[in-house]
Amino acid sequence: MAELQLKSRRFRAEREADWRRLERLLEKAEARGPSKLSKDELLAMPVLYRQALSSLSVARAISLDQSLISYLESLCTRAYFFVYGTRTRLGERLAAFFLHDWPAAVRDLWRPTVVSTLLMVVGAVVAFVLVRADPDWFNAFVDPQMSQGRDPTTSAAGLRETLYARPDAKDGLSVFATFLFTHNAQVALFAFALGFALCLPTAGLMVFNGAVLGAMLAVFARHGLGFELGGWLLVHGATELFAIAIAGGAGLSIGWAVVFPGARSRIDAAAETGRRAATAMAGVVVMLLVAGLLEGFARQLLRADLVRYAIALITGLAWTAYFYWPRRARR
């Protein structure tokens, strides 16, 4: 035992100066950033790291005391992330996300996104046909709290007033936008989160979401206000529905990976697909925020139908170009 302690002290005495120098450089870089290191210090860092790594290998081989091995393991781990780790600033990371990561994730999900969109269209068409044939179907698709007085019993004048009423600024349009953003975010998150259950809950949610729109459109169309309702909805819906379709596509992709994992295990397939889908979902939150602002402000302040449709067209084309316009692959 005494021989081992002597060997450990001699080993430390011969190399400790280099370990301490490496530790000081790491503390300086961690506290003030790598840019504060001089040129000589930057060049010395990988040399000191390799020396510490060699010392750790020797210490393990000759079974020196555990405290020394633990110290060297911690030191080498810190140095490894400095020497070989990728260091990006917050601004650079955000730029990479918006310029590359998010659009790439959405492009990879284009097939399930198309399926999600078609499911909403089917739900809208079915609900529209049913409500036009029998208005009593309306309550099966739209909750009274959601309709807010826009139902088959409302007169044409009452429906028109809901489309063009200008709220008092004191009512707090920002509060209204926040409420709608929260509601739409819940729909999108449920569509994503429920996808693992073999796609069925997500598919059902997409159909039901479309059915709500179809039922509302049928009520307004009975009074000749279908075109006006389209502008009222699409000024924010071009962004909102696109976001929900992407969220539904993300959920469907995870469910599909669980059902058909291929050569991978179901857990591995779901995890791999889930990482890509999660990147797309992070951007969906941004889209829903934009939709909430358009709903709470632009739609209420801009009452001309053609202006509303113009904004819907511009935002729809902008999102489509942003996601699917060909671009150079990221290095």
Q: What is the pLDDT of residues 187-232, one digit of tens each?
A: 888 999 888 888 999 999 999 999 989 999 999 999 999 999 999 8
Which of 28, 55, 87 represents a domain boundary (last residue)?
87
Q: Are 182 and 238 in contact (CB under 8 A)?
A: no
Q: How far apart are CA 170 and CA 163, in angstroms?
A: 19
Query: Percentage of the chain surpassing pLDDT 70?
Result: 87
Examine residue 331 and state whether it is found in any structural domain, yes or no: no
What would the two tokens of residue 54 be? Answer: 């060699």
Which of 38, 64, 87 represents a domain boundary (last residue)?
87
Using DSSP, state whether 37 is helix, strand or coil: coil
**Who wins on pLDDT, 181 or 26?**
26
Q: Are 316 and 287 in contact (CB under 8 A)?
A: no
**Choice among 44-53, 169-178, 220-229 with the minimum mean pLDDT:** 169-178
CA distances from residue 271 to 40, 113, 192 in whole angstroms, order as listed: 43, 19, 14
151 and 199 belong to one structural domain: yes
pLDDT average, residue stretch 246-256: 95
pLDDT average, residue stretch 143-163: 82
Where residue 16 falls among pLDDT bands split at 50, 70, 90? Answer: confident
- Indicate the average pLDDT of the chain: 85
67 and 179 belong to one structural domain: no
pLDDT at 169: 42
* Domains held by the chain: number: 2
252 and 216 belong to one structural domain: yes
Sign of CA dihedral 130, 136, 138, 140: negative
pLDDT average, residue stretch 85-108: 84
Examine residue 330 and state whether it is found in any structural domain, yes or no: no
Expressed as residue numbers, the domain containing 161 is 92-324
Which of 87, 102, 121 represents a domain boundary (last residue)?
87
Q: How far apart are CA 250 and CA 202, in angstroms?
A: 10
pLDDT at 174: 47
215 and 105 belong to one structural domain: yes
57 and 110 belong to one structural domain: no
38 and 124 belong to one structural domain: no
Query: Percentage of the chain surpassing pLDDT 90?
Result: 42
pLDDT average, residue stretch 140-162: 83
